[in-house]
Structure 1
Amino acid sequence: MRLTLLFVGAGPRTLGVLDRLSAHAAATGAAVDVHVVDPHPAGAGRVWRADQDPLLWMNSRAADVTVLPDASSRLEGPVRTGPTLHAWLEAHRTALAEEFARTGQDALRREVLSVHEDTFVSRALGNRYLRWAWDRVVAGLPAGVRLTVHRTRVVDVLDDQRGTDRQHAVLEDGTTLDVDGVVLAQGHPDVVPGPREVAAREFAARHGLGYVAPGYTSDLGLSDDEETLPPGRDVLVAGMGLAFVDLLVLLTQGRGGRFEETPDGPVYHRSGREPVLHVGSRRGVPYRSKITYQLTERPVLPRFLTEQELPSRPVLGLRRDVWPLVAKELAGAHYAELFRAHPGRTTLDPAEFDRRFATARWGDPDLDALVAQAVPAAEDRFDLRRLDRPLDGWWAPTGAAVHDRVRAHVAADVERRGDPRFSMDAAVFSALLSCYVTVAGLAHAGRLDDDSVAEVDGWWHGLFSYVASGPPPRRLRELLALADAGVVRFLGADVRFAPDEVGGCWTARSSNSPDATSAAVLVDARLPRAHVTESADPLLRNLSGRGELSELAGGKLVVDTEQRLVHADGTVHPGRFAVGPWVAGGGWAAAFARPGLDAGFFRLNDRVARGLLGLGAVSVVGPRAASTAPSRRTTAAR
């Protein structure tokens, strides 16, 4: 039987599944026609496309990025390994530099010549790695696999009504395809404005104000849009995550400003085209700086967040059952590294501390007493609350004092996370990465209740991103320079951004001071919230309208343990799969994997590839309808 498969989206997820599908098809002799549909070039997709400003960086080191399996990957069937981003750039440095010189891309030429393991490369340069990986996977397709790429969009997929197992796909350019299996891998679809955004736009229009709704920063054209964000004008900015970092770069260096290197760090020289950015968020501080050194010895993980330590009931609550073990895992890694690498800053025998720590429950007063006894310096203790919310409970009489406090926090964070004397932070990073994979596995296996699966994609993912997926330290040093130059002002935590009908302006108030800040422009510097029913993607809208997909409270797609779409009635479609950041509880939504860790990214790709090839053995009586078999849902069948 010759299968026909449709991939909606041509980014790194499709690349990864196609690689595993190719490996299995080569081993089994499967005959497959593959159609990949995306208006953007195959391999990189939209987010990693080439036509981005080289000022926009990836937020992982070149040595920490791979899109193809490596020697650590334990997968079913043959494994065809590939290089990390850094290894690939090393091998192709000269050829790339010559190409960029010929095509007048001088910024990329300079960049590729200076890349080393610790470099955070531009997304435009990362695009070349993805394009190469795509070409390599395509070149390695076995004779039985035929690939067609369509530079358009899929607008609908319908079950065949003629008594077959097939599905009918409609493309925006009028092409139609009859297929056996579908993979939704659109990445980050656009959303239609929700009630909050509509109200904000209407308020801005009434008062002649500026408003920038959540969006993908590289698509907004903010470097050149001086009408919306005028030079020298006060602008309120809601959000201090990675979208904020991109915004900051585009409105400063992107408008001609420059940084001068000095012994005390970068100093910013204005171009005169920058607005003045007043920034705040829930935490009131940017994501934690990336750690720039390597541990000499990784902690043993997992130690406390294990199956043996989890409650035996089949369905768990993330906060009730899992979180105490996560917190203890992080603290355990912190103290293991402190006693191992910095014993002079402790006062107890390491074995005694470890024995007492291992038997204590997280949150017990005895645990706090043990730490106080064994670790004299507060800076050496693991304070999860302070790590997460550094401004909680702090008050200042003026907004200027809040600005100074946040600036001091950012400076201390960058300094500490680049200092091996605090290698405990790197151990916590490793533990958090281990916990993230474990929690994702629990969600995927149906071990978490529905509310907890929503929290995996909510506060838990937010905490992980804040601690472990922050910007390069260089970007935070530049943030400090911009604050010193008067281009950035920090507002503090729990900032309430609101329209002022009487004053005809936007206002911002922090929980850290009594001051209010007003401005004529508000930028919502956050990525669009994943919400399937509000998606601007026509395929998702059509499937949702017919009840052929479902979403959690957080707005993400529900899939079963095989990544198959779950319908609104709880049944599972046997021939439709979904992967990527808009899929609930997946945990491996990133476009890349970290090498050397047997990344779950590749195992998920492998599972989907095997599920697709297995469609050739499925027999369905009558029109292809949702399976009524019990579904081991990601959210756990109840």
Structure 2
Amino acid sequence: MSNQEHVIAVIGAGPRGTSFLERLLAHVEQQAIRTQSELPPLRVLVIDPARHGSGKIWDPEQSPRYLMNTPASFPTAAPAGATQEELTPSSCSTSFLQWAKKQGLAYNDGDFPRRADYGAYLRWLHQEAVSGLRANGVSVEEIPDEVTSISAGKNWYGLLMAQGPAREANAVILALGHVPAEPAGPAARLSSQAQKLGLHYQVPAIPTDVDYNRFEAGENVLVRGMGLNFFDLMIEVTAGRGGRFKQHLSGDPGHRLDYQPSGQEPILIAGSRRGTPYRAKTVAPGFVPEGVELTQLTDEVIEELIREHQQLDFAAHLWPLIEADMQQTYRRIGGDPQAEFKLEEFTRPFDHQFFGSAQEYQQAMATWLTEDAATAAEGAQNPQKMAVNALHAARLKVKHLVTERRITQTSLLRDVEGWFEATVEGLTSGPPLQRIEELAALARAGIVQFLGPSPVYGVEHDEGLFIADSSAVSGARYTARYMIEAMMPPNRITQSSAPLVRSLLEAGTARPATFRAGGESHVHKGFAVTDSPHRLLTSRDSVVEGIYVLGLQLSSAQWGTAIAAEAGGQITTTARSLADADAVVVDILSRAPSRG
């Protein structure tokens, strides 16, 4: 490392790392306009074994059948639209939809894009940012390798690499994204038992890391989880194996598709705690559709609550307002004025019910899928879906309050993460309507069957098979040689198997955040960090001035980190990831020596 260079290491070249490069370019371009002497001689090391720009999750080479769960008008990794009024754009600041239209991709605002296409956008943005930096005198080195540990020197950090020579940097950005995790609890037990019996068990993993070909045709596959990973599995082992969906143009919602099997499909036996998949998103346009207005949980009411209480209790201060906004939206859109929109029944529709046979439960699920498809297809005219979108709008305000540390740690753990998070995810973070239509068709074809609420999974040692059943469904006992956890690896740093994360914790360079609740300390999922720009805190609570954190490992400081920023979003809410990256750039450049 030259004494005349200021070296920045970006560890992780997915969306967060790419946003950092774009924000760095914006500041380099602005400083270059004012005077070249203000710019320090910069070298940037971009380090990731995965494809730079997209990372693993958004790899442009992944299956074209995987869809995003946000509409095309939403995602961006650079300031776009109104966001450019708060963050100075770079010469390549472009949203996904702007890029897609220039590429001739036929996406409308409300379409759900292929993840591979979003990956191609990220790859393009990365390349443009790198080219722009180089054109402005910044040296950029792209390194397809993995950092396994970081050691601290005086005003520099040593980076040990998995394959190549060690590197040095003055500042380090951890933009790690999803990292592998060690199985824990029931997953660890199942993994161990499966290995002994020669069964096929898939631990939680990102879809691009799963070999779906291992599930043989005609074989039962037990599936735990019916969130977004489930829909990836579902489509890959059906349409991905030559099956075809035939469309009925005049069919009613939930019956618009028939499935013609190829004969190569396994049989998916799917279960979740609710017994149902995530609900479909409405076709009403907009991230928060027009017609949804929060009249109770307003900024003015929140400010008054903060003045009165300083720290807020979610259940006592915020949830009653959220419920009131949902009820008002439900009635305003046309819901029965004498009825209440019962969130618990909508979230867990089969609680306290018993089904006399597996076939009876399949029929109940067929009805549920049809109803969910119908309510989604009604768009802004459906009271239930619009009430759910009021919940979604409220979630954005709660995210901001968590980031600003306005909710007590006790309430954050007990309420926000304890029950609100799971509730809101299942209702507002679901797939596009197309996936529910496909699932309904696959259920009619017998390719997908449903276990029932609160299923229990285990291993039958005498038979040498996985077993699963639901106490709510009589006779619903299934066996299989295959089982998959259809979910992402847990975003918990103490469970991470990534060498870098483990080494940072073992060396005390980083520690997990701890929250006080009920008079006890609770270890949290994310790193302990400072306020923005987020830097690591050591095991002794000192600040690691040169190591910054972006993205998922900020879960201790930010609730529900988004997969992307919103094009035109505010930097305090839906475009916060861009503001985080910008704050890191500003801090690094302010600490770097000038040319003079």
Q: Give the alignment's TM-score, normalised by structure 2.
A: 0.86
Instruction: State the match for 2:391 in structure 1.
Output: 432
Distance in 2 of aligned mates of 1:385 and 1:589: 25
SS at match of 1:610: helix
Distance 1:569 1:282, change over 3 A: farther
Instruction: State the match for 1:323 in structure 2.
Output: 319
Contact 1:442 1:448 in 2 (8 A): yes
Map 1:407-422 to 2 at 5 A. Answer: 407-420=366-379, 422=381
| Pair 1:594 & 2:566 matched | yes
Distance in 2 of aligned mates of 1:139 and 1:472: 36
Per the TM alignment, residue 427 of structure 1 is displaced from its structure 2 partner at its CA by: 4.0
Per the TM alignment, residue 558 of structure 1 is displaced from its structure 2 partner at its CA by: 2.8
Contact 2:148 2:160 in 1 (8 A): yes
Instruction: State the match for 1:634 in structure 2.
Output: none
Partner letter of residue 276 of structure 1? I
SS at match of 1:582: helix
Contact 1:258 1:269 in 2 (8 A): yes
1:446 to 405, 410, 426: 405
Instruction: State the match for 1:606 in structure 2.
Output: 579
Instruction: State the match for 1:402 in structure 2.
Output: 361
| Pair 1:151 & 2:121 matched | no
Instruction: State the match for 1:559 in structure 2.
Output: 529
Contact 1:21 1:610 in 2 (8 A): no
SS at match of 1:308: helix
Q: Which moved more, 1:509-518 or 1:400-409?
A: 509-518
What RMSD, in angstroms, separates the aligned Cα atoms of the two structures?
2.7
Distance 1:2 1:443, change over 3 A: farther
SS at match of 1:73: helix
Instruction: State the match for 1:283 in structure 2.
Output: 274
Q: Deviations over 1:5-58 (max 9, x none)?
A: 111100111111222222223334432322111112221111001221111111
Contact 2:172 2:548 in 1 (8 A): yes
Distance 1:333 1:572, change over 3 A: farther
Map 1:97-496 to 2 at 5 A. Answer: 112=105, 114-141=106-133, 143-160=136-153, 164-194=154-184, 196-222=186-212, 224-225=213-214, 229-262=215-248, 263-264=250-251, 265-294=256-285, 295-300=289-294, 302-303=297-298, 306-310=302-306, 312-335=308-331, 337-338=332-333, 342=334, 375-376=337-338, 378=339, 381-420=340-379, 422-425=381-384, 427-454=386-413, 456=416, 459-496=419-456
Q: Deviations over 1:614-635 (max 9, x none)?
A: 346559xxxxxxxxxxxxxxxx
Contact 2:68 2:115 in 1 (8 A): yes
Contact 1:588 1:601 in 2 (8 A): no
Distance in 1 of aligned mates of 2:239 and 2:425: 25
Contact 1:436 1:587 in 2 (8 A): no
Per the TM alignment, residue 195 of structure 1 is displaced from its structure 2 partner at its CA by: 5.1
Contact 2:567 2:575 in 1 (8 A): no
Contact 1:209 1:505 in 2 (8 A): yes
Distance 1:507 1:523, change over 3 A: same
Distance 1:127 1:238, change over 3 A: same
| Pair 1:580 & 2:551 matched | yes
Q: Which moved more, 1:128-137 or 1:75-84?
A: 75-84
SS at match of 2:247: strand
Per the TM alignment, residue 588 of structure 1 is displaced from its structure 2 partner at its CA by: 5.9
Per the TM alignment, residue 608 of structure 1 is displaced from its structure 2 partner at its CA by: 4.0
Distance in 2 of aligned mates of 1:426 and 1:205: 44
Distance in 2 of aligned mates of 1:489 and 1:281: 12
Per the TM alignment, residue 237 of structure 1 is displaced from its structure 2 partner at its CA by: 0.9
Partner letter of residue 129 of structure 1? Y
Instruction: State the match for 1:3 in structure 2.
Output: 6
Instruction: State the match for 1:528 in structure 2.
Output: 489
SS at match of 1:236: strand
Partner letter of residue 303 of structure 1? T
Partner letter of residue 245 of structure 2? F
Partner letter of residue 561 of structure 2? A
Partner letter of residue 71 of structure 1? G
Per the TM alignment, residue 2 of structure 1 is displaced from its structure 2 partner at its CA by: 5.0
Per the TM alignment, residue 317 of structure 1 is displaced from its structure 2 partner at its CA by: 3.8
Q: How many pairs are equivalent?
A: 556
Q: Which moved more, 1:483-492 or 1:69-78?
A: 69-78
Identity %, equivalent residues:
26
Distance in 2 of aligned mates of 1:89 and 1:207: 49
SS at match of 2:82: coil
Partner letter of residue 236 of structure 1? L
Distance 1:248 1:55, change over 3 A: same
Per the TM alignment, residue 153 of structure 1 is displaced from its structure 2 partner at its CA by: 0.8
SS at match of 1:540: helix
| Pair 1:498 & 2:491 matched | no
Distance in 1 of aligned mates of 2:419 and 2:141: 40
Distance in 1 of aligned mates of 2:39 and 2:378: 52
Contact 1:154 1:171 in 2 (8 A): yes
Instruction: State the match for 1:58 in structure 2.
Output: 68
Per the TM alignment, residue 470 of structure 1 is displaced from its structure 2 partner at its CA by: 0.8
Contact 2:380 2:386 in 1 (8 A): no
